Structure 1
Amino acid sequence: MYKFKKEFLTFLNIFSNNLNLDLLIRATGQNLFLPFYHTVSNQELIHIKHLYPVRDEKRFKEDLHFLLKHFKPIAVDELSEIASGEKSADENSFFLSFDDGLSEIYDVIAPILKEMGIPAAFFVNSSFVDNKELFYRFKCSILVESIQSKPTSEAVQAKIDEVLVKHSNSTQSPVQRILAIKYDQKGVLDEIGALLEVDFAEYLNSNKPYLTTQQIEGLIEDGFVIGAHSEDHPEYSCLSLEEQLSQTQCSMQFLNEKFKIDSKLFSFPFTDYGVSKDFFRNIFDTGNNIADISFGSAGLKKESFSNHFHRVAMDSSNLPAEKIIATEYLYYLLKAPFGKNSIART
């Protein structure tokens, strides 16, 4: 389903150049837009290089100027009022967020947002704060870079194939198979790292890709909001309900204990696809008090839970903001006659 959407959106981009965004917004009735990014950098980031495009500072600023031209930035307090029904999103508004808690948030992104007067929420994984661990997908990218940039002996290649054949489609290349590794297979990446003499601990120590405790405290002092993004970024559809709740609650508890954060915001790692009603009932239950607002990444969508919001990934391609946003609204309009803009959970 995701692959079809991506291909269809790519097709729709052809028609997005001459679309009037304000007319599209009015036609859809979707005044609230929630863009999200992961990071922004003028430097090559090896741990991300083979996963998705990274916006440079120039393109990021252009995106923000476009958003400000068509939408009013809102803070989490106003979003909470919309979630609770105290306020409706009558005015074109956007709520900006960033996933994965990467260090560029402090060094690059926050200074730009402060200069432009844009509030934002930054979602962190509790296991990665202070560079304690490395996201398994980042390990994939580092390994791919090692394979492509350094010669590998036939003996090592054979050993890598031997490890991979147990977990993936042997007809694919080693690079494809590494990038296809799932959360429950992540131990394989350490085996391959050892064969390639890639030291992930050294990479963490040298590159420090994640926010530190001190940096997070600085962001909070500057008025930004910090939310949870699970402990170590699993795919929730592959977890049991108990595991989903544990990942969520533990990451929220970490923020409360370490930073005394009152607002309870949670952003799903990867996607909320396949997550049941029971999960949302549990986290929003006032007795459990796990989360106040949660965020998915399904694009412009209607949701049965008023305090769950869907966002649009702005770094899934190299396209400028105007094309990404116009295409997303056009896609929403085209699906409307078929009733495909609402998520039905079981």
Structure 2
Amino acid sequence: MLIVSNYHYIREDFSAKYPSIFGLTPEKFRRQLEELAKHGQFISQEELLKFRGRSFDKNYILITFDDGLKEQYELAKPILDEMGIPAVFFINTSNFKEANVSLVHKIHMVRSQLASEEILQALEKKDTSPLSDKEKKQAIDHYNYDDERTAILKYVLNFKLTLQEQENFISPLFDALFEAQKVASELYFDKKTLGKLHGEGSLGSHSHTHVPLGQLASEDLRKELKMTQSFFMENFGKISETISYPYGSYEACRGISEEIENAGFKLGFTMERAANKSLQEDSLLLSRFDCNDLPLGKNDLFNGKNIFTNPLLRKWHSNESSLTHKR
């Protein structure tokens, strides 16, 4: 069986005017790794690729990071190296090819300086349609670490507005508060780091521009995948075999497996909170837990029990319309 733990921000200090992210300090990161080591054996990206189409011979744990944040390399990587634990770092290639700031990080940074209620009121002035009761529940369930108004704000931004509408709304707020070029240079890996991680077999794609792939038109999806694979080929001489899907929700991963496989990817990771029994049936819709869902996290779903003792098993892959990735 395989359980995947996913991380974003690793910082010594998460204080902000309006705290907007849920990460771990290096010390808490180390403690969680020590706890996870009691449950199973850590596995590398290269080792996991060998299990495509096969059952697992023991209980494995894969450590992953999304977004290619510099703090992951500076604060988390030394701990991983010291403990002899492999990991995969998934990057949005536009951050390096175009030196831009991903919309998702613009949102995080704006929300750190402006209250959720203030941003929601600004959105309402733009005549955005209110959420239904069902959508409000979906928002609260998906963003289960946030208060209700913040969860609703995130849902509206990520799932009700088009990408262009999000950009048009958030970018002026971001530009008024931050200098984009300075943020990009301070927030993301540099080219030297990318080379080191790729040389270690620890780099994967998080798409090109951090968009919900399942909501793109087919032509736009193919373009997005072509651009991220072109970056890997141009910089490392080979395409990426692994991808984690931005946002990771069911809607963000639905109906894309055929194009993902056509683009050359062999492993794909969602944010379905579940364990992976094997890779016999599917390797492009693998489930992951947020680190906060695991032992010592803010919302330990296992209540102190061994994470491999009767966990929920992934189901999203069974609903995938495209069956070309089935093994």
TM-score range normalised by the length of the shorter chain: 0.7 to 0.9
TM alignment of 1:1-346, pairs within 5 A: 31-44=1-14, 49-50=19-20, 52-85=21-54, 88-129=55-96, 132-148=99-115, 161=122, 164-167=125-128, 169=130, 179=154, 180-182=156-158, 183-186=163-166, 187-193=168-174, 197-201=176-180, 203-204=182-183, 208-221=186-199, 223-261=200-238, 263-271=240-248, 273-274=250-251, 275-277=253-255, 279-284=256-261, 288-300=262-274, 304-315=281-292, 319-320=296-297, 323-325=300-302, 343-346=318-321
State the distance in 1 between where 2:203 and 2:18 align.
22
State the distance in 2 between where 1:333 and 1:340 align.
15
What displacement does 1:198 show? 1.4
What displacement does 1:58 show? 1.1
What is the percent sequence identity of the aligned residues?
A: 20
Aligned partner of 1:3 in structure 2 is: none
For 1:83, what is the secondary structure of its paired residue? coil
Does the Cα contact within 8 Å between 1:106 and 1:219 map onto a contact in 2?
no
Does the Cα contact within 8 Å between 1:38 and 1:98 map onto a contact in 2?
yes
TM superposition score normalised by structure 1: 0.71
What displacement does 1:269 show? 0.5
Cα distance, 1:39–1:316 mapped onto 2, change above 3 Å: farther
For 2:9, what is the secondary structure of its paired residue? coil
What displacement does 1:233 show? 0.8
State the distance in 2 between where 1:328 and 1:340 align.
22
Query: Structure 1: any 5+ residue segments left out of the alignment?
Result: 1-30, 149-156
Cα distance, 1:247–1:49 mapped onto 2, change above 3 Å: farther
Q: Kindly name which structure, 1 or 2, has the bigger radius of gyration based on alpha carbons.
A: 1
Structure with the bigger percentage of helix: 1
State the distance in 2 between where 1:244 and 1:45 align.
37
Does the Cα contact within 8 Å between 2:99 and 2:181 map onto a contact in 1?
no
What displacement does 1:272 show? 5.4
Match for 1:201: what amino acid? A
Does the Cα contact within 8 Å between 2:3 and 2:275 map onto a contact in 1?
no
What displacement does 1:224 show? 4.2
Match for 1:214: what amino acid? K
State the distance in 1 between where 2:17 and 2:196 align.
25
Query: Structure 2: any 5+ residue segments left out of the alignment?
Result: 137-147, 322-327
CA RMSD of aligned residues (A): 3.8
Does the Cα contact within 8 Å between 2:32 and 2:296 map onto a contact in 1?
no
Match for 1:35: what amino acid? S
Q: Deviations over 1:90-139 (max 9, x none)?
A: 21111111111100122111111111111111000011137811122222
Q: Deviations over 1:35-75 (max 9, x none)?
A: 1111311133769941x311001110011111111111111
Does the Cα contact within 8 Å between 2:18 and 2:112 map onto a contact in 1?
no
Does the Cα contact within 8 Å between 1:131 and 1:212 map onto a contact in 2?
no
Does the Cα contact within 8 Å between 1:121 and 1:225 map onto a contact in 2?
yes
Does the Cα contact within 8 Å between 2:239 and 2:264 map onto a contact in 1?
no
What displacement does 1:202 show? 5.4
State the distance in 1 between where 2:3 and 2:307 align.
14
State the distance in 1 between where 2:84 and 2:24 align.
20
Match for 1:344: what amino acid? N
State the distance in 1 between where 2:63 and 2:242 align.
13
TM superposition score normalised by structure 2: 0.75
Match for 1:293: what amino acid? L
State the distance in 2 between where 1:48 and 1:94 align.
33
Cα distance, 1:115–1:46 mapped onto 2, change above 3 Å: same
Aligned length, in residue pairs: 295
